[in-house]
Structure 1
Amino acid sequence: MTADYLRTALSVRLARADDAAEIARIHVKAWQAAYRSIFPAGFLDSLSIPKRRALWSELITRGNPRVMVAQRNDFVLGWIAWGASRDHDKGRTDAEVEAIYIDPPHWRQGAGRVLIEEAINAAASEGYREMTLWALEENACGLRFYKALGFALDGVFRTERVGGCEVCETRLHMTI
């Protein structure tokens, strides 16, 4: 019963410019919690909430990607950014989750699932037929979460340099 209550108590809405500070805070705190075993502590500790706030304020104002927040009682628990796929091998009917982060004290309480479901529904209503996302190969918890929602590895990988580390990302996809 608790899980059902938590899920129904959540609401999702499009982000507003005044959400940028909370989105930035969650972005930094989630990176620091989720990627502590992947990236150097110095890099994670140097992540700047004010810089992220400026970035998210600009992106929200621009409207691309679309940013949605999950909240309970006017308190933002997490957010998702999605839009048309940025991958060169994808077409006009392919959407992409560019980022999704939940405030660490609220992990495993349904906000991530609700956000992804809302993004998928919104993308389908706009005519998209597939949703993709990229995840760090070393992020076992994230990969389990995405697979539990119906995403599957599609065999495409890329290497990025982040925080002085070379990391491999794998792409997942689902038909919507």
Structure 2
Amino acid sequence: MNGEVRRAKPADADDMDELFRRSWLEGFGDILDAEDQESIKEGRCVAEDDIEDRRRQDGILTLVYSRNRTVLGQGRIAWSSSTTKSYTLTNRDEAELRSMYIHPKHWNEGIGSEIMEELVKRCSVEPAALKTETYEGSDAVEFYKSKGFETVRHSVIRATETGMSRDYRTVVLKKRL
């Protein structure tokens, strides 16, 4: 693949913002309402300050996959009670895959698999399992299942928690490590 997986840095913010926007619209565009799609198109999703804050925070790690100085993928793992979503994690020996975004032009190149493997390797604890949550009906569900994740339960992300225009159904998935 000729790229590298490395820790995200503030200088990656613009690439990560573009990556997030394209990945969301391509991956969830048929699920999200038009209002939510517009919000994603117009808003800033990743800021340099956010990246710097996360670099200093214990219990969370953000990695990027870059090729030719361009970020093509991003993943984030969290493993402490202060950095995980309480409704996703139930056990202390589990880590949460908080996010995984790959530029749509580079889907099916193994970038997501490489990032996920590195996140688990570089996690400062050895989790017994990895959990994640994604939108029900999205291609992401099949991606995670192809990597050994199994559905744990269905859930709902409330508009009041996300700033979205409505509630969305989600799937919580888990993989034993």
TM-score, structure 2 as length reference: 0.83
Residues 25 and 49, structure 1, Cα contact 8 Å, conserved in 2: no
Which of 151, 154, 157 aligns to 1:153? It is 151
C-alpha displacement at 1:49, in angstroms?
5.0
Aligned equivalent of 1:137: 136
Which of 21, 27, 47 aligns to 1:53? It is 47
Residues 134 and 172, structure 2, Cα contact 8 Å, conserved in 1: yes
C-alpha displacement at 1:54, in angstroms?
5.1
Report the Cα distance in structure 1 between the residues aligned to 2:5 and 2:64, rounded to whole angstroms. 6
Residues 135 and 171, structure 1, Cα contact 8 Å, conserved in 2: yes
SS at match of 1:173: strand
Report the Cα distance in structure 1 between the residues aligned to 2:85 and 2:35, rounded to whole angstroms. 30
In structure 1, runs of 5+ residues without a counterpart are 1-5
Aligned equivalent of 1:119: 119
Aligned equivalent of 2:7: 14
In structure 2, runs of 5+ residues without a counterpart are none
Aligned length in residues: 167
C-alpha displacement at 1:55, in angstroms?
6.4
Aligned equivalent of 1:70: 65
Residues 77 and 97, structure 2, Cα contact 8 Å, conserved in 1: yes
C-alpha displacement at 1:34, in angstroms?
1.4
Amino acid at match of 1:109: E
Amino acid at match of 2:141: L
Report the Cα distance in structure 1 between the residues aligned to 2:134 and 2:101, rounded to whole angstroms. 12
Amino acid at match of 1:164: S
Residues 155 and 172, structure 2, Cα contact 8 Å, conserved in 1: yes
Q: CA RMSD in A?
A: 2.2
Residues 97 and 133, structure 1, Cα contact 8 Å, conserved in 2: yes
C-alpha displacement at 1:93, in angstroms?
1.4
Report the Cα distance in structure 1 between the residues aligned to 2:32 and 2:170, rounded to whole angstroms. 14
As a proportion of its length, which structure holds more helix? 1
Aligned equivalent of 1:94: 94
Structural mapping, 1:73-84, within 5 Å = 73-84=68-79
Aligned equivalent of 2:173: 172
C-alpha displacement at 1:59, in angstroms?
4.1
Report the Cα distance in structure 2 between the residues aligned to 1:99 and 1:91, rounded to whole angstroms. 19
Indicate the percent of aligned positions where both proteins have the same amino acid.
Answer: 22
Report the Cα distance in structure 2 between the residues aligned to 1:98 and 1:135, rounded to whole angstroms. 10
C-alpha displacement at 1:127, in angstroms?
2.2
Report the Cα distance in structure 1 between the residues aligned to 2:51 and 2:43, rounded to whole angstroms. 12
Residues 157 and 168, structure 2, Cα contact 8 Å, conserved in 1: yes
